[in-house]
Structure 1
């Protein structure tokens, strides 16, 4: 039998380019997200709108400056989106209103996530009677009309823009609590949780340092879908006159004013409504893309 020389044996060491590089869940999710054109489009639109709303009013005309002699004027070179009935530049008011609407969406969503994630994680981790009581409270709150509850908060505590952020967030946490509870129930018997218990870690540390970080995927997805829901609720309250008060403006206020005069001055409704709709579509595209990208059952490309 012919013997093999050491030179003819396969080398135990492989070249770096022959080694298969591992990848994390987040890098795989980012790769899948980049392939989703609608999600990338939505993220790009949101970035542009956020930059315009943040820095645009610094260079545009004042959103409060009135010119009664000018009145409502159609779009022109001097006023790109036209003016309202008080002669105020609509482009400036749309940008400033975007600040308010986007801030309401982000802050109220943060409040909803803080309450919902904590509540759902505690209910899911402790289980038993604690879980039953906490989730029955959620069911009772679900039966209450959200809009009426927010209106009562606004009437009782006064029409304050900062209260509006928290009032909306305080009624949008229920679904997040259910989502987080379900995720915690699915992982609390896993080995890494049992290992944390065996090491003597406290309940608070296990919940906030081990459980919640491992369910960030569904939390992030639902957050992107909560922002448009919150913005719609703010627009509805402003449409009823219970939201942002003049001379401040939001997209909801502008849509309300435009709807009252849409037969005479179409641009007062078309431009704020169009930008608001574009923002909501972009948020939903991004949310759908994140949902697909963070799905651990998706196959690796």
Structure 2
């Protein structure tokens, strides 16, 4: 699988893996190329699998924790992270050996998902976050993870983000493709969560998720899960001080800020106008309720 160096206008580089024109991070396992290509037809699902999907930096870790708490009926953080079930970062052997019930997750397009997941109608949760906050968070993600070896500026990164010249490609194309898939698969169990709604009304959104997943709940469990999954609690309780992230990041870890509207602190007027223009051109016609502030 060829490694590609994606250069921005400033000449700064992000290294990605090119799988038939789709850019992915290099997860450093020997069978990655073979497994990514065979995933659609050869990764076998189980009836109780739950699949969490989204574009990067859209609340994956956060919602994954909520799902596992609803599944175990305990508002407790478990030792391993969502990375253990990230399908594009694991070999087929690891995928098959993961014990049930599996809470899987991916940043891949709907068209790339294992066909068996669709055949079995595994429950699928798709999370959506406004692209301005996604872009800022993704910039810090690339700066923070040593695997990228990236030291570009926010301005240079935003250009590549808007172009889709980045691992997992274009946010705009991802959202449009997922919207199309949801509209075309009305019989498939898909639940959409807006990141901003989770921030604004967490208990109600967790209740909706529990109903969709057909998990029992009471008001105390919902409140306990919301409290345990507050950003500050998760940052201190799970990732921030873990040796894995200290060894693989520049120190910011996976949880950095998590607030809605953080983009306003860093965007220039020109950057904001460029974002708004592309948003109107690319997905405004979908009439998605995307909140840039709350």
Output the TM-score relative to the length of structure 2. 0.26
Q: Quick check: which one's strand share is greater?
A: 2
Output the TM-score relative to the length of structure 1. 0.26
Q: Quick check: which one's helix share is greater?
A: 1
Higher alpha-carbon Rg: 1
